[in-house]
Structures are given as structure tokens and as C-alpha cells.
């Protein structure tokens, strides 16, 4: 039987960072209310990060039409991902599951069927690793 590595960071892999846009808000939302991006960050912080993952908040990921937005990065050898339309009440568990699966890879490529639904359906961008050669 194959070993489940979803909770184990890849050996010799760079640390993983989950970045949450703190200023994300939905169009028409009360400008005085706590931003959903901040609520998402706080919910993730309370839930706790998978082993080898650091959580950070930033003021803007410039994906305002897809709020709430998160970014997964993991060094020069991993692909990075931007995911949008995350709901602080619905997607925390999926974000943590997807982040753990990402951390368990050396290259950031989690097989499609192993990604949580939110990571399959709400991808904004997949960014190649810095060390990735040109495909021209």
C-alpha cells in the first residue's frame, strides 16, 4: 500500500509559504467591515498550518476581481499558485489540505485528482519556478 505523504513536507524541499491577501473584499461589501481576506487569514492561523508551512498576510495580491486570494510558494524549484474566490467560512479545510499536498511535493505539482475542489476550480495562475528553463 502506498504511503500517505500529504502531511509530510518533501525532503530537501524549500519551505512553503501560504500568503493571504488581507485587503480582499467582495464588491459591494461594507467598507468598514473586517475584510474577508483578513477573516480568511485569521481562520487559517487559528486552524494551524501543516508542517513546514508558514502563513503570512500581505496588503494586496492584485487579484481584486477574484477575492479572497491566496498564493502558495515554495522556493526556486517549485511551481507557485494563486487561488481566488476563497471563502473564509467554507474553504479553510480545503486550503489546508491543498497546502499540505503542495508541501509534500518537491516541484509543487500536485496531481489534479489529489487537489481539493477549490484548488482545481479556483486557480487564478500557475507560475513556473525561477529555475524553470524557457520552453521556446
Confidence of residue 6 (pLDDT cuts 50, 70, 90): very low
Q: Cβ distance 53 to 17 under 8 Å? A: yes
| Gap between the Cα atoms of 94 and 79, Å rounded | 19
Q: Where are the beta strands (DSSP E) in the chain?
A: 16-21, 53-58, 70-73, 80-83, 123-127
DSSP symbol at 69: -
pTM for this model (two decimals): 0.87
d(C-alpha 29, C-alpha 27), whole Å: 6
Q: 16-127 domain in CATH 2.70.98? A: no
Mean pLDDT of 34-58: 95
Task: Render pLDDT for 81-126 as a digit per residue (tens, 0 to 9).
Answer: 999 999 999 999 999 999 999 999 999 999 999 999 999 999 999 9
Amino acid at each position: 500500500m502506498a504511503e500517505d505523504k500529504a502531511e509530510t513536507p518533501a525532503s530537501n524541499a524549500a519551505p512553503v509559504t501560504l500568503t493571504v491577501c488581507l485587503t480582499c473584499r467582495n464588491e459591494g461589501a461594507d467598507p468598514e467591515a473586517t475584510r474577508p481576506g483578513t477573516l480568511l487569514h485569521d481562520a487559517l492561523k487559528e486552524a494551524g498550518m501543516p508542517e513546514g508551512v508558514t502563513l503570512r498576510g500581505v496588503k494586496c495580491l492584485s487579484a481584486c476581481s477574484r477575492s479572497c486570494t491566496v498564493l502558495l510558494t515554495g522556493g526556486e524549484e517549485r511551481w507557485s499558485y494563486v487561488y481566488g474566490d476563497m471563502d473564509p467560512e467554507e474553504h479553510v479545510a480545503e486550503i489546508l489540505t491543498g497546502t499540505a499536498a503542495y508541501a509534500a511535493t518537491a516541484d509543487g505539482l500536485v496531481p489534479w485528482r489529489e487537489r481539493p475542489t477549490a484548488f482545481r476550480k479556483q486557480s487564478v495562475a500557475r507560475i513556473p519556478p525561477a529555475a524553470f528553463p524557457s520552453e521556446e
